[in-house]
A and B are shown apart, each in its own frame.
Chain A
């Protein structure tokens, strides 16, 4: 079965500083990886995905993620954090056998002014 792990429950960063939210995966075959963001009492918003090609994927709101096959990681990054980036971030992997997304446990990002 496929799985994703988000090793940090919470990440704290000062506004203007770069941020990284970590994700590692375990899949058989080619990984199809996604990042979503969830604001309080809201649905999940799609940020970006890796399917194939360039290891650096650019997404919405200035976010990007780096796919690293040797480290089985797909960390989410942003060069300069905003207070409005504070939210819950989920990494997900598509599971071919089940035709579904499997989510990581989520990481709460807190950006302080």
Chain B
């Protein structure tokens, strides 16, 4: 079965640079979520999209922005990168935006900021 695809899998950036992470949800899933997992931490919700519109925001810094495109893929844009942004970034998708619907996670993008 098709899964959530994230690219790139690994990314190394310098401080103050920008980064773009991409997420391709499972086909027919119209809801995308982004999470950040710091070293030894649990995943923290950043932002979500439903039917190409932003749904909810969590602990996402103002330096980050995201959008969902017409083909339902999503991109997380990160600017003015800081050392503390080094983390594993997960994208998850679900069929609909509903409490009962399972979120399926991608393999993650490991971002290292030097």
- The answer on A and B forming one complex is yes
Interface residues of A (CB under 8 A from B): 32, 34, 36, 41-46, 49, 51, 90, 94, 96, 98-106
B18 at the interface (CB under 8 A from A): no
The interface on chain B, measured as residues whose beta carbon lies within 8 A of the other chain's beta carbons, has a size of 24
Q: With A42-B107, A98-B56 given, is the CB distance from A103 to B43 under 8 Å?
A: yes
Return A54 CB to nearest CB of chain B, in Å.
15
Determine the distance from Cα of A94 to Cα of B92 in the docked complex, in whole angstroms: 14
Question: Do A105 and B42 touch across chains, with their CB atoms under 8 A apart?
Answer: yes
Determine the distance from Cα of A101 to Cα of B44 in the docked complex, in whole angstroms: 9
Q: Which of B4, B56, B100, B108 lies in contact with A100, CB distance below 8 A?
A: B56
Question: Do B42 and A96 touch across chains, with their CB atoms under 8 A apart?
Answer: no
A4's closest neighbor in chain B, by CB? Answer: B42
Across the interface, which residues of A come within 8 angstroms of B105, CB to CB? 36, 43-46
Question: Do A96 and B99 touch across chains, with their CB atoms under 8 A apart?
Answer: yes
Q: Which of B99, B106, B108 lies in contact with A32, CB distance below 8 A?
A: B99
**Contact residues of B: prevailing secondary structure:** loop
Question: Do B45 and A102 touch across chains, with their CB atoms under 8 A apart?
Answer: yes
Across the interface, which residues of A come within 8 angstroms of B64, CB to CB? none
Question: Do A46 and B104 touch across chains, with their CB atoms under 8 A apart?
Answer: yes
For this complex, 8 residue pairs linking A to B, each with C-beta atoms less than 8 Å apart, are: A34-B103, A43-B90, A45-B105, A94-B99, A100-B48, A100-B56, A101-B43, A103-B42
Complex A-B, nearest 8 residue pairs according to Cβ-Cβ distance, in ascending order: A103-B42, A100-B45, A44-B105, A43-B105, A94-B99, A43-B107, A99-B56, A32-B99
Question: Do A32 and B100 touch across chains, with their CB atoms under 8 A apart?
Answer: yes
B87 at the interface (CB under 8 A from A): no
Question: Do A99 and B55 touch across chains, with their CB atoms under 8 A apart?
Answer: yes
Across the interface, which residues of A come within 8 angstroms of B61, CB to CB? none
B42's closest neighbor in chain A, by CB? Answer: A103
Across the interface, which residues of B come within 8 angstroms of A41, CB to CB? 110
A97's closest neighbor in chain B, by CB? Answer: B56
Question: Do A49 and B102 touch across chains, with their CB atoms under 8 A apart?
Answer: yes
Question: Do A51 and B43 touch across chains, with their CB atoms under 8 A apart?
Answer: no
Return B74 CB to nearest CB of chain A, in Å.
15
Across the interface, which residues of B come within 8 angstroms of A34, CB to CB? 102-103
Determine the distance from Cα of A44 to Cα of B60 in the docked complex, in whole angstroms: 20
